[in-house]
Chain A
Amino acid sequence: MNALVAARGGAALFAVLALAATLWHGIDGRGTALAFGVLVAVGELVRWSGAQEREPAPLAAAGALAYALLGENGGHPTHDGVPQVVAVVTAASLLGCVPHVAKGRGPTADHLTRRVLTVGFAAVCFQPFYGLGRAGRWPGDGPGYAALVVALLVLTALWDAVLAAALEHARTRWPFGPLLRDELRATLGIGSAVCATGAVIALAVAVAGLWALPVLSLPLLLTQLSFRRYAAVRATYRQTIASLARATEIAGYTPAGHARRVAALSRAVGRELGLSGPELTVLEYAALMHDIGQLSLVDPVPAGATACLAPAEQRRIALLGGAVVRRTGVAAEVAVTVERQADPYREQPVGARIVRAVNAYEEKAREAGPGGSLGALEELRLGTARDYQPEVVESLARVLARDGLTSPPVG
């Protein structure tokens, strides 16, 4: 938690200092400051409330970056220093966040922390080069300048990814490496659109003045819209998969909440083992649907505990499940994971190893009643010669130790 507090405190201090310096010196280029402030505020207003997205407010981010990298406005050099840039962006972001905070949608503190630190980074990097350019020691205009802006934005994007991963790491204690990898991958998606628009706005304002702001906002809004719809359909899809998973519970084949608990625990173990975002999604879907093969059984397995069945029977149910999963249109990897969940671990893909171990743990721990999880872990450890991968079992033990050895509540 200390890193989190330090980052937030640092950002707040930086913003307050910048505000104070700006108030002290007064604002240069009021028109430009106002225009960018409005852009950032509007961008924040239309940000989407689904908090899981890497960049919830692309328009605001692009506007803020463009302002940080602004050297000219319609052919006239600008004199907005680092403090003013940070102050304007902070004020506008705060203003744009007000309705979201009022409605209690989405976490705002981390979002603002990232915005302030990223914009500050971009501005601090840019100003010395820009000073050199004005002194004539840098090929001021032309493609060289554009290349400089793009290079700085790439640097900023990297910094932002590191920052986001660090904040996430501090909050959740998940391993840093995979988090950073996920952040970098997300940077290739909407992050690249944000950076490109930031660069284009900075350059276009230099050529065409402030008219460039509304003209370039619309294509980015379109991008945001596309991403929002993509996110919405992904969420719906996930809910539907979870419903399908619940079918076995309602049919009385498995105990209530089993699929969801296995999915949550599998995801945690997958994170602990350093799986990436898409792999985690495959793992989660497979874990949700791992028991679906039981729907084809005429008589339910007692308490749905497949881990206690004969291996051949387990494998048959797994194959049946894979056949059902293949019909659902999910990625083929999910079906493979479900199919292979009963194989010895050396023949399994990593997802199936996790699902197998977690499922066995869940069933054994449930059978043993309260306090049964230590015994269940012990049983898994005894099975590491053939059935369960030792690394997976140890990750599971670590995850359980961290979360207090309790099953997640049924809700």
Chain B
Amino acid sequence: MTTAVDASLGRLLDSPGITGVALVDAVTGFTYGVAGDAAEAGDGAECAELAALIAPLPAGPDPYESCAGPARGSLVRANLLRRPGESGPCPPGAAPRRPIVGRRVRATGEGRAMRSVPPWARVYVVCTALGAVSCAAPSPGTRAPWAAVALFAALCAACELLAARRSAGERRPDGTGAPAEGGAGLGWHTPVMLAAAFLLPPPAAALVPLPGALLARVEQRPRGLRRTWRAAQLVLCTWAASRVHWALGGRDAVVTSDFPYALVAAGAAVVAFCLVLAVLDGGILVLAERVPVRVARRGLFLRPLAPVAVHGLAGLMMAVLWRSPYGPAAALLVLLPMYVSWWAFAQYHRERAAHRATIRALVQAVDIKDGYTRGHSERVGRASMMIARELGMDDERAEALRFAGILHDVGKLGVPTRLLRKDGPLTPEERRIIELHPEYGHEMVRGIGFLEEARSAILHHHERLDGSGYPYGLKGCRIPEFARVVAVADAFDAMTSTRSYRRARPVAAALAELERCAGTQFDPRMVQAFARALGRQGWHPAVTADEPPPHGRPRLPAPYTPVATEPGARRGTAPGGPRP
């Protein structure tokens, strides 16, 4: 088992990609971040996909919790964000849908969404709770080590409360605070539960997570049900782990420090823990979230395995030291690294949220100057992302491409506001000044290391395939791939949104225009990919910011839901592509 964990960690160290991120988050016990951030960043499709990937992750065993239970929160969020016609685990009518709003979906929205709990889910929770009670009931004739149980339970509760307080304290008023508000279900106190499972008889071990789970702050209604569910799930998991460990004689191995064998027994206990977690989570996903079984099953067992295994190792060492001559105080030291990594992880998320806000501020600065392109950047980012997914790019490149799309016009900061806002036709001189903006943008983001490939897109997004574009007049495949993607997304959004000099065109007309110009202006491969993506997902634009548009006029392009392809769609005659 150790080798498996080794390999998994090694992989993590090598690949900082999105999957790695999700997994590491899981290792630390906080899975909230990825899907939540995606929702924040405003890419609906991406968010839905990510959430579907991560949703089954039982890092927060409570399917109702949104803040305290990371994974479920993202699922609820995803359900809110998902739209009809989109493939995904969201059945019709499961949750009220909000249109994609680039900003975060408010917690109150989630609360409303979850207020109606299906009756079967209630029955399921009650059954689970009854099962937990029957597991924890002490069998007559055995003497439970009450002192140890009380110590472990107090420790567990203390860890959970500490985590909750820290993250509550670090939450910022604008909502960019630490992600793990309220503490995750499998936080850094998991080693305590597992150590108890390794040392105590099963019914006694099952009592250990109880006080912590019952005391933990629950932000979403219905609170009682959520608390019950969370407590019952942890009790059952711990009981199962302890039962398996006990049956294998692991306790004696721990007490006598019989080492390779203690690892085997602990490994089996960890597997049991994850299995029960997966089964219970799957049940609640199917009943409460009405997720189809085959989707709910995905990754439920395997995803938490690596994190729980690492926590299991720490728990094993806690158990060994607890029974050693050095006593429980020495065992506490094991928790310190877990706490520190949890802290670093919370900081990481805080900083990441701040970073995203900064990027958004860069974009908003452009919006301030160039009034009519409001929300354009975010939409181009989203369209670029759709193309990237369609082209089968990996997550990291797709993410970079989204940033490229978002930041493609950042160089307009360097163009005088007067020119950007000019209503009439531009003189050649003015046009030349405006055409400098790709170079300005490239210069501006030069220092941002993670953008790398995206910088080329910022520089070259006005190049045309036939070499008549600017700034360098590159031709064909000499134009970087990212730039070819962003060019299509940019032109599409420019055509489908209202500008001061013309009205928005319908999506179908814009697509036809893109296809007409494919080969001369745009890369046909990108245009086809975009058409496919639109055909599947539709186009649901939204503004970036929460505040109303400054000019009071609706500037949103109309949403578009794909229908059967229209034969003989209108062919536009106006020059395609955005005004520079």
Contact = CB atoms under 8 A, between A and B. Distances in A.
Contact of B414 (A215, A237, A252): A252
A230 B358 CA distance: 17
A150 B333 contact: yes
Contacts of B325: 141-143, 145, 207
A208 interface: yes
Interface string A181-210: 000000001101100110110011011110
B333 A328 contact: no
B414 A328 contact: no
Interface residues of B, number: 74
A216 B317 contact: yes
A158 interface: no
A49 interface: no
Given A223-B341, A225-B24, A247-B365, A215 B174 contact: no
Interface stretch (B128-136, B192-200, B346-354): B346-354
Contact of B351 (A141, A196, A200, A237): A237
A199 B332 CA distance: 11
A65 B71 CA distance: 38
B348 A203 contact: no
A330 B336 contact: no
Interface stretch (B178-186, B441-449, B486-494, B567-575): B441-449
B347 to A, nearest CB: 5
B556 to A, nearest CB: 22
Contacts of B352: 233
B87 to A, nearest CB: 32
A240 interface: yes
Given A214-B2, A236-B449, A329-B354, A207 B324 contact: yes
Interface in B409-467: 410-411, 413-414, 417-418, 440, 443-450
Contacts of A236: 355, 448-450
Interface string B321-365: 100111101100110111011111101100111111111111011
A331 to B, nearest CB: 8
Contacts of B401: none
Contacts of A212: 317, 320
B449 A211 contact: no
A243 interface: yes
A226 B354 contact: no
Given A207-B257, A219-B338, A239 B449 contact: yes
Interface string B1-42: 010011001001100100000001001100000000000000
A221 interface: yes
Interface string B252-277: 00000101101100000000000000
Given A250-B443, A250-B444, A327-B357, A233 B341 contact: no
By size class, the interface of chain A is: 35 or more
A242 B448 CA distance: 8
A274 to B, nearest CB: 25
Interface in A234-256: 234-237, 239-244, 246-247, 250-252
B2 A328 contact: no
B344 A329 contact: no
B381 to A, nearest CB: 15
A200 B334 contact: yes
A223 B313 contact: no
B321 A207 contact: yes
Nearest to B443: A250
Contact of A251 (B348, B413, B446): B413
A324 interface: yes
Contacts of A46: 13
Interface in A20-62: 46
Given A223-B344, A243-B447, A250-B413, A328 B337 contact: no
Interface in B287-344: 310, 313-314, 316-317, 320-321, 324-327, 329-330, 333-334, 336-338, 340-344
A360 B484 CA distance: 45
Contacts of A246: 443-444, 447
A401 interface: no
A174 interface: no
Given A193-B340, A200-B317, A295-B413, A239 B448 contact: yes
Given A215-B263, A226-B341, A250-B413, A143 B450 contact: no
Nearest to B353: A329
B321 A203 contact: yes
A143 B330 contact: yes
Contacts of B410: 247
B176 interface: yes
Nearest to B311: A219
B176 A329 contact: yes
Interface string A152-182: 0000000000000000000000000000000
Nearest to A295: B365
Contacts of A247: 362, 365, 410, 413-414, 444
A287 B354 CA distance: 18
A95 interface: no
6 cross-chain pairs, A with B, having the tightest CB-CB distances, nearest first: A329-B357, A196-B336, A226-B344, A329-B354, A193-B340, A223-B341
22 contacts: A74-B257, A145-B326, A193-B340, A196-B337, A197-B337, A199-B333, A203-B324, A203-B330, A208-B262, A211-B260, A216-B314, A216-B317, A218-B5, A219-B334, A219-B341, A222-B9, A222-B310, A223-B341, A240-B362, A244-B361, A298-B418, A329-B358
